[in-house]
Structure 1
Amino acid sequence: MEKESKNTWDKTNSWSVELELLREIIVKTQLVTTNKWGGEVYTFNGKNVVGIGGFKNYFTIWFFNGVFLKDAKNVLVNAQEGVTKSLRQWRFYSKDELDEKLILAYIDEAIENEKLGMKLAPAKKQTIISDFFQNELKADLELKKGFEKLTPGKQREYVEYIDTAKREETKVTRMEKIKPMIISGIGFNDKYK
């Protein structure tokens, strides 16, 4: 008995007709069809704009930068509140809900947003330096100068390395190990890059 093939973005294989209808709408735009992460993604100038997929209770079109869409009809949802920053889904529960004109309007707006280069900038991570690390920097001017020359990412690597030690003795041992690296401007994980 042959197993039925399963698209990873049509979790139940029960939305094939509906997904085909979405495809027929999307191909009327200037988007280019690609396959990424086991599913269909539609791009403009190599940038992800929309994707489609089927799940247990609904099928969907998602907009990679949907946070910028006006969403006048209030149809978009954040699939993972607090996790997903810019992606928005438009969920459908029946092919009768597909309004080609409205879907095309949303896609056209998404394409225009892509042309304008609209995207969320990643949140800047704040490096919080522990008292232990701060005291080491105050005690050694050369270490402080070396640390300040490092990029914020490299600084975080060192701070994390020290702060993950539970015992004070381990922190001291680790600090002695990394001092020459910091002074030399070497990142903690540079040997792996």
Structure 2
Amino acid sequence: MNHKVDKYLADGCLRCPLGGTSGCKVHQWPEELSLLRAVVLECGLTEELKWGVPCYTFQNKNVLMVSALRDFCAISFFKGTLLKDAHHILVAPGDNSRAVRYVKFNDTQGIIEREAILKAYIYEAIEIEKAGLKVDFKKNTEPFPKELENKFEEDPVFKSAFEALTKGRQRGYILYFTQPKQSKTRTARIEKCMPKILNGEGLHDKYRSLKK
């Protein structure tokens, strides 16, 4: 176990204004996240903290993340589209996701019932890395500005959060990001909006507590 992940479970990822508060998404799923962590560690992956969330690697290659979202917690496979998904449990973060696939959970019982299946998927993902398989990325037809694509490459968590937004919210951000003529201004707008996107909010939404 990595002590940095212990801190994540205690405080959250601290990447949006709700970090460290009771409204943080991490505090919505404490038992579920701890259980997913235990399942993954039993598969022999190395535990790290990347982009503010638990990331699990094999020989320094990213295999999966354990993360909390507003309506569920999840295991996210970096090369999920290469998994066979014999049990049909993988879902895409959004319509534009070309590699990552989630397995979603909203209670501990669901994790317990699927523990053996999850481990099989994790072992398959490890074999994909051993074989050096790559996702065949097709050209993105969405009008994403170059600066946004660069942020996606730097930060997979941010990319996943953006893809999970509704198409309307995505379009609102894209229009806002592409308005400035200068690249540095577009980049500044993206960085300013990252906390809202990570929290699942639209451009004009206010931060909402996760308490029901």
TM-score computed with the length of structure 2 as normaliser: 0.53
Aligned to 1:58: 72
CA contact (8 A) 1:8 1:39 kept: no
The structure whose RCO (Cα within 8 Å, separation 6+) is larger is: 2
CA contact (8 A) 2:75 2:102 kept: yes
Task: Report the number of matched residues.
Answer: 121
Q: How does 1:13-162 map to 2 (within 5 A)?
A: 13-81=27-95, 83-98=96-111, 99-123=114-138
In structure 2, the CA distance between the partners of 1:49 and 1:8, relative to structure 1 (3 Å rule), is farther
Residues 109-154 of structure 1: CA deviation (Å, up to 9, x unaligned): 00001111111244469xxxxxxxxxxxxxxxxxxxxxxxxxxxxx
* Distance of 1:124 and 1:19 partners within structure 2: 34
How far off its partner does 1:8 sit?
4.9
- The one-letter code matched in structure 2 to 1:56 is R
Aligned to 1:155: none
In structure 2, the CA distance between the partners of 1:123 and 1:53, relative to structure 1 (3 Å rule), is same
CA contact (8 A) 1:32 1:42 kept: yes
- Mark the runs of 5 or more structure 2 residues left unpaired by the alignment: 1-9, 16-23, 141-212
CA contact (8 A) 1:59 1:93 kept: yes
In structure 2, the CA distance between the partners of 1:115 and 1:18, relative to structure 1 (3 Å rule), is same
* Distance of 2:134 and 2:14 partners within structure 1: 27
- The one-letter code matched in structure 1 to 2:121 is Y
Give percent identity, aligned residues only: 35
* Distance of 1:93 and 1:31 partners within structure 2: 24
Query: After TM superposition, where is structure 1 displaced by more than 2 Å over at least 4 residues in a row?
Result: 4-12, 121-125
* Distance of 2:75 and 2:139 partners within structure 1: 30
In structure 2, the CA distance between the partners of 1:89 and 1:8, relative to structure 1 (3 Å rule), is farther
In structure 2, the CA distance between the partners of 1:124 and 1:18, relative to structure 1 (3 Å rule), is closer
How far off its partner does 1:77 sit?
0.6
TM-score computed with the length of structure 1 as normaliser: 0.58
How far off its partner does 1:12 sit?
4.9
Aligned to 1:170: none
- The one-letter code matched in structure 1 to 2:133 is M
How far off its partner does 1:84 sit?
1.6
Question: How well do the aligned residues superpose, as a CA RMSD in angstroms?
Answer: 2.0
Residues 39-91 of structure 1: CA deviation (Å, up to 9, x unaligned): 0000001111010111121110010001010101100011021x221110000
Larger radius of gyration: 1
- Mark the runs of 5 or more structure 1 residues left unpaired by the alignment: 126-193
